[in-house]
């Protein structure tokens, strides 16, 4: 690394330690004070932030998706207080979460998604959509995803049990005390 590069690294690192610094402020520093073009400044700031994120946070391999706060039961000891049918996860959020998992898993190839609620089986159509979306992403990346579910088990019927999340491995845990 050259002296000039070392100097630039020092300057960026010093800037990052300042309160309120962020990606945009790094770009401004590079463009206004170091003579970078806007395009190069953005590219370098992006690379710096990505590197910092990788160093600070290990890869993510598991994700818990709280599909709904609603449940078909009303156990009085339940931690999901005030069951809320009006706040289910939507498809866009679920897919964005899956994208996040794949992206942040980096080189890790074995991933896991847990469906949680409320009672996740109330959102079975969303579960099916997530499974199909994951299937496309595993085909494209070579990663493997296993599914788990925390469920009270009362909404399984033969058809849903046999569907097995579009052929994906799925282990379901149910308990009257979940």
Nearer to ligand SF4, 35 or 82 (CB): 82
Side-chain half-sphere of 109: how many Cα atoms within 13 Å?
Answer: 5
Element (H, E) at 129: helix 124-141
The token duo for 1 is: 């690394």
Nearer to ligand SF4, 135 or 148 (CB): 148
The token duo for 54 is: 């990788």
Smallest distance from the beta carbon of 53 to ligand SF4, in angstroms? 34
Going by the DSSP 8-state scheme, the letter that residue 21 receives in this structure is -
Smallest distance from the beta carbon of 77 to ligand SF4, in angstroms? 7
The answer to whether the beta carbons of residues 71 and 83 sit under 8 Å apart is yes
Question: Nearest to residue 59, comparing CAs of 130, 115, 110, 94?
Answer: 110
Q: What are phi and psi of 139, to 5 degrees?
A: -65, -35
Mask for 53-92, x = binds ligand SF4 (CB under 6 A): ------------------x-xxx--x-x------------
The answer to whether the beta carbons of residues 135 and 146 sit under 8 Å apart is no
Look at the chain and count its residues. 178
Nearest-angstrom CA–CA distance, 51 and 7: 18
Smallest distance from the beta carbon of 93 to ligand SF4, in angstroms? 20
Nearer to ligand SF4, 69 or 111 (CB): 69
Nearest-angstrom CA–CA distance, 149 and 171: 7
Q: Which of 48, 88, 89, 119 binds ligand SF4 (CB under 6 A)?
A: 119
Smallest distance from the beta carbon of 148 to ligand SF4, in angstroms? 15
- When asked if residue 118 is in the footprint of ligand SF4 (CB under 6 A), the reply is yes
Subset of 134-163 contacting ligand SF4 (CB under 6 A): 152
Mask for 16-45, x = binds ligand SF4 (CB under 6 A): ------------------------------
Smallest distance from the beta carbon of 113 to ligand SF4, in angstroms? 19
Binding residues for ligand SF4, rule: CB under 6 A, are 71, 73-75, 78, 80, 117-119, 152, 178
């Amino acid at each position: 690394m050259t002296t000039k590069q070392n100097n630039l690294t020092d300057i960026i690192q010093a800037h990052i330690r300042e309160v309120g610094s962020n990606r945009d402020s790094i770009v401004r520093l590079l463009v206004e004070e170091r003579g970078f073009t806007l395009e190069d400044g953005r590219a370098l700031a992006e690379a710096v932030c990505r590197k910092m994120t990788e160093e600070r946070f290990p890869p993510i391999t598991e994700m818990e998706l709280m599909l709904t706060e609603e449940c078909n039961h009303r156990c009085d000891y339940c931690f999901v207080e005030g069951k809320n049918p009006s706040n289910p996860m939507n498809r866009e959020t679920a897919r964005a979460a899956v994208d996040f998992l794949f992206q942040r898993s980096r080189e890790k190839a074995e991933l896991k998604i847990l469906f949680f609620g409320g009672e996740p089986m109330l959102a079975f159509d969303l579960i099916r959509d997530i499974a199909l979306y994951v299937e496309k992403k595993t085909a494209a990346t070579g990663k493997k995803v296993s599914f788990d579910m925390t469920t009270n088990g009362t909404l399984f019927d033969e058809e849903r049990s046999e569907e097995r999340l579009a052929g994906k491995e799925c282990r379901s845990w149910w308990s009257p005390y979940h």
